[in-house]
Amino acid sequence: MSGLPTYLLCLCVAAVTGSVFVLSVLTNQERASMAEITIRISDRALKVAGVVLGFLFLLWGSLHFWESGVFRAKYQIRLFVPEAKGLHVGAPVRLDGMPVGTVSTVELAPNSTDSNRRIEVALRIEKRFQNMLRQDSSAALLTEGLLGERFVNVQRGFTGSPINNGEEIRVVPVVEVTLTDFLDVLGKKVGCHNDGNSSPDTKSPTVGTKSPTTH
Same domain, 174 and 79: yes
Same domain, 174 and 81: yes
CA-nearest of 110, 169, 163 to 140 is: 169
pLDDT tens-digit readout, 192-214: 766 666 655 545 455 454 555 55
Same domain, 79 and 65: no
DSSP 51: H
Same domain, 18 and 82: no
Residue 107 forms beta bridges with which residues?
Answer: 120
**Is 206 inside any structural domain?**
no
pLDDT of residue 16: 44
Same domain, 61 and 78: no
Residue 142 forms beta bridges with which residues?
Answer: 151
Here the contacts of 171-179 (C-beta below 8 Å, separation 24 or greater) are 171/79, 171/80, 171/81, 171/138, 171/139, 171/140, 171/141, 172/138, 172/139, 172/140, 173/140, 174/140, 174/141, 174/142, 176/142, 176/143, 177/146, 178/146, 179/146, 179/147
Domain that holds residue 143: 74-179
Same domain, 78 and 67: no
CB 143 within 8 A of CB 85: no
- Cα-to-chain-centroid distance, residue 159: 34
- In percent, the amount of the chain with pLDDT more than 70 equals 63
pLDDT tens-digit readout, 147-187: 789 999 999 999 999 999 999 999 998 876 665 666 777 77
Average pLDDT over residues 126-142: 95
215 versus 187: the higher-pLDDT residue is 187
Centre a 10 Å sphere on the Cβ of residue 138 and count the other Cβ atoms it contains. 15
Same domain, 132 and 169: yes
Same domain, 95 and 156: yes
pLDDT tens-digit readout, 92-123: 999 999 999 999 999 999 988 999 999 999 99
pLDDT of residue 12: 45
Whole-prediction pTM = 0.56
pLDDT of residue 187: 77
CA-nearest of 41, 120, 43, 123 to 77 is: 123
